[in-house]
Amino acid sequence: MSEIINGKELAKSIRLKLKEEVNELKNANIRPKLAVIMVGNDKASKVYVKNKSKACEEIGIEYEEYLLPENTKMTELLELIEKLNNDVTIHGILVQSPLPEGLDANEAFRKISPKKDVDGFHPVNVGKLSLNQDCFVSCTPYGIIKMLETYNIPIEGAYAVIIGRSNIVGKPLAKCLLNKNATVTVCHSRTKNLKNITKQADILISAIGKPKFVTKEMVKEGATVIDVGINRMNDGKLIGDVDFENIKEKVSYITPVPGGVGPMTIAMLMHNVVKASKQH
Ligand code: NDP
């Protein structure tokens, strides 16, 4: 019998707990505040930014949005980040990616003070995660670990296979799982015999961005399947990387899209903002 991991509900309970923590912080005269910078008009980014502002509002985190035009220069973006770094009322800074062509997202991430880097993309936080030291963990991997832990899915000793090696999902997730004593394989577009690898996974995570890429033949009976992919179809429907309907009976646990990893990513961002304001 398989269980569907309810990321939406879990994220809601995390937000509720954070709301209480924010109230306590406010009683101590600390008002957590997140600054979000968005450059250009990327449609998907607009939705993500809106969801982040909604979550802040619900929890009581103050929110400032900087919408910069498509033709913003790198120097202008860096100057704004510097200004926000120096603003003591701001605890978290986030640069929404992707940035328009010509702007270097990595340079922007590097400019954010590691203490305000609530996305966990700054090299200092990336390095600390590698060393298994306290840091801001990027939100999607962090949310996945929280889901596994909440559902008591054993990580230690498990064989975890990740499809996708991006800096925001695949790579940091591999480190998180390794830090929790899983045995980890990271696959990518040049991986040979992908199916032979994924079929052995106790925990299979797909983060590639290809609708229904992971088929029933690719998963082991009783495995846990985590679907990070968000693919918007022509009819406007969102679907994941995993062929959910055909796989769900074969596995022990599976996340849906929407309602799985997505809400957890935002909840963990909120967690990181609260953490930043406590450390401030
Ligand atoms: P990227 O495009 O940065 O990375 C995709 C990865 O998938 C790459 O490592 C690529 O390999 C690999 N890949 C592509 N095709 C194949 C293939 N046929 N076989 C094996 N590996 C393949 O994507 P992101 O990590 O940014 O995002 C992945 C997906 O997750 C997207 O759908 C995105 O929208 C979603 N997402 C969802 C989030 C959430 O909160 N739910 C948060 C972040 C992302 P290579 O490196 O060799 O090119």
- Per the structure, the count of domains in the chain is 2
Ligand 1 contacts CB of residue 206 (under 6 A): no
Q: Say if 58 falls within a structural domain.
A: yes
The Cβ of residue 215 has, within 10 Å, a number of other Cβ atoms equal to 13
Q: Say if 118 falls within a structural domain.
A: no
- Catalytic annotation on 52? yes
Q: How far is the CA of 210 from the centre of ligand 1 (A)?
A: 8
Q: Supply the DSSP string of 25-53, one letter for each residue.
A: HHHTT---EEEEEEES--HHHHHHHHHHH
Q: List the chain pLDDT tens, one digit each, 280 residues.
A: 799 999 999 999 999 999 999 999 999 999 999 999 999 999 999 999 999 999 999 999 999 999 999 999 999 999 999 999 999 999 999 999 999 999 999 999 999 999 999 999 999 999 999 999 999 999 999 999 999 999 999 999 999 999 999 999 999 999 999 999 999 999 999 999 999 999 999 999 999 999 999 999 999 999 999 999 999 999 999 999 999 999 999 999 999 999 999 999 999 999 999 999 999 8
252 and 150, same structural domain?
yes
204 and 101, same structural domain?
no
Q: Say if 5 falls within a structural domain.
A: no
Q: Decide: helix, strand or coil at residue 12.
A: helix
* Pocket mutation for ligand 1, best pick of 8, 109, 168, 188 (most atoms within 8 Å of C-beta): 188
245 and 171, same structural domain?
yes
249 and 201, same structural domain?
yes
44-56 per-residue burial string, b: 16 or more CB within 10 A, e: under 16? ebeebbeebbebb
Q: How far is the CA of 188 from the centre of ligand 1 (A)?
A: 9
- Catalytic annotation on 12? no
pLDDT for the residue numbered 1: 72
Q: What is the CATH number of the domain that holds 101?
A: 3.40.50.10860
82 and 153, same structural domain?
no
203 and 246, same structural domain?
yes
Q: Say if 208 falls within a structural domain.
A: yes
Structural domain span for residue 88: 29-113
Q: Whose CA is nearest to atom 8 of ligand 1?
A: 164
The Cα–Cα gap between 49 and 46 comes to 5
Q: Say if 69 falls within a structural domain.
A: yes
148 and 85, same structural domain?
no
Q: Say if 242 falls within a structural domain.
A: yes
The Cα–Cα gap between 119 and 107 comes to 14
148 and 79, same structural domain?
no
Residue of 33, 111, 117, 119 marked active site = 119
pLDDT for the residue numbered 3: 97
* Pocket mutation for ligand 1, best pick of 52, 94, 109, 189 (most atoms within 8 Å of C-beta): 189
Ligand 1 contacts CB of residue 165 (under 6 A): yes
164 and 237, same structural domain?
yes
Q: Say if 14 falls within a structural domain.
A: no
Q: How far is the CA of 232 from the centre of ligand 1 (A)?
A: 14
Q: What is the CATH number of the domain that holds 228?
A: 3.40.50.720
Q: How far is the CA of 50 from the centre of ligand 1 (A)?
A: 22
Q: Say if 3 falls within a structural domain.
A: no
What is the pTM assigned to this prediction? 0.98
- Catalytic annotation on 134? no
185 and 244, same structural domain?
yes
Q: How far is the CA of 4 from the centre of ligand 1 (A)?
A: 22
